[in-house]
Structures are given as C-alpha cells and as structure tokens.
Amino acid sequence: MGQITLALAKGRTAKDSIKLLEKAGFHFPDFHEKSRKLVFYSEDEKIKMIYVKAVDVTTYVEQGAADVGIVGKDNILEAEADVYELLDLKIGLCKFSIASLNKTEIEKGTAVKVASKYPNVTRNYFKKIGVPVEIIKLNGSVELAPIIGLADYILDIVETGNTIRENGLTIITDVDEISTRLIVNKASFATKTKEIRHLIERLKNVLE
C-alpha cells in the first residue's frame, strides 16, 4: 500500500486524536505536542502526518496537500470546504450555541446583531431561520460583545457553558453538534481508495 498524508489539527483534541490513531495501530514515535517539528511519520511509514493549525486543516485537504484530515466540525462548517466528511471520531464533543445577555429570544423577521468567531456558520444559520443578521467578527472573548453593547447575541462553541454563565449570558438555542471528524480529499479518495479505506476501517473498529 502507498503512503497517505494526514493533516492533524493542533489544539485541544490533538492528544485524543493521537491516542485514537495509536489504538488503531498507527504509531508516531517522534510526536509530542510541544515539538517544533511539523511533519511526522508512522512507524511503518504508511502515514505522513502534518501538524497544523485547526483552521488550516480543511485547506490542506481541499487543495490536496493532505489526503485526509482530522479536525473539528466547527472548522469544517466555517470553511465550507469541498471535501468528504467520512467519520465522526467522537472526540471534543461540544455545540454551537447562541447566547444573549437578557434571555432575549430571537424573533423571526427582526434584524439582530451577532458577534462570532464563525461568520459563515452565523450567516447560514440566521438565513435558515429567516432572520436578518449583522455579523461582527471577533477572534476571542465573544462573550464580551453583549456586555458592552457591541452585539445582541453571540454564536460560539459551548462545551460546559461555564464561561457563558460566568459572564451573565444565557444560552438561547443550540445550533449544531460539534465533534472531531475525519475528512478526505475527493481526488485522493479516488486515487488512494485502498489506503484511505484501510485507515477508516481501523478507526471504525476502535470506535465500535
């Protein structure tokens, strides 16, 4: 079998993703999270793994620089990448949720101002429910936006909800379930079918 390139997202799910790969029989002896190396090889050299920022994984896979990627559903939805999403790895479980300061429900037809790190996810959701939206793109601490009057709502990833509550906000509704997924480049799936299916089957066996 030939070699495949795997893009692995840095961040909170990287350690669990590596553990899952190891359980499936794919060991990367040189890998540790604090390494400055960006490229690692499995013991059998069947997988070349590139260790990249989560927001870039979909780009590497869509452009064919990586055959497969392991990344959160949040990044997949935001990137709107043209890739196959073939496996839910059940890691990093959380949600996209909408929260406000005064438990203000969203009224259909009434324009709202929403702060988010995820403008595409926000735009698509409010379009789906028929509510005009002005999106304020923030890169961090979106909870601050309603507090200082910058936005009516926030749309963000929520795991425990503690940060939301500690800042006096209330979750209004959940938008989507988020977890770590395996994505595949469409051309690679045609040219490296055997290798990619082998990886998927090994991971499936562990998940089951």
Ordered per-residue pLDDT tens for the chain, 208 residues:
689 999 999 988 999 999 999 999 999 998 887 778 899 999 999 999 999 999 999 999 999 999 999 999 999 999 999 999 999 999 999 999 999 998 878 988 889 999 999 999 999 999 999 999 999 999 989 999 999 999 999 999 998 889 899 999 999 999 999 999 999 999 999 999 999 999 999 999 999 8
Provide the b/e sequence for 110-132 (b: ≥16 CB within 10 Å).
Answer: eebebbbbbbebbeebbeeeebe
Give backbone dihedrals phi and psi of 94, rounded to 5 degrees, phi first: -160, -170
Sign of the torsion angle spanned by Cα atoms 92, 128, 104, 79: positive
Structure tokens belonging to residue 197: 């299916």
pTM of the model: 0.91
- Write down the domain spans for the chain: 4-92+179-207, 94-177
What three-state secondary structure class fits 28?
Answer: coil
CA distance 84 to 66: 13
Determine the pLDDT at residue 182: 98
CATH number given to 4-92+179-207: 3.40.190.10
Per DSSP, the residues of 131-154 read --EEEEE-SS-TTHHHHTTS-SEE
In the sheet that 84-88 helps form, which strands lie side by side, from edge to edge? 39-41, 47-52, 4-9, 68-72, 180-184, 84-88
Q: Is there a common fold for 4-92+179-207 and 94-177?
A: yes
CATH number given to 94-177: 3.40.190.10
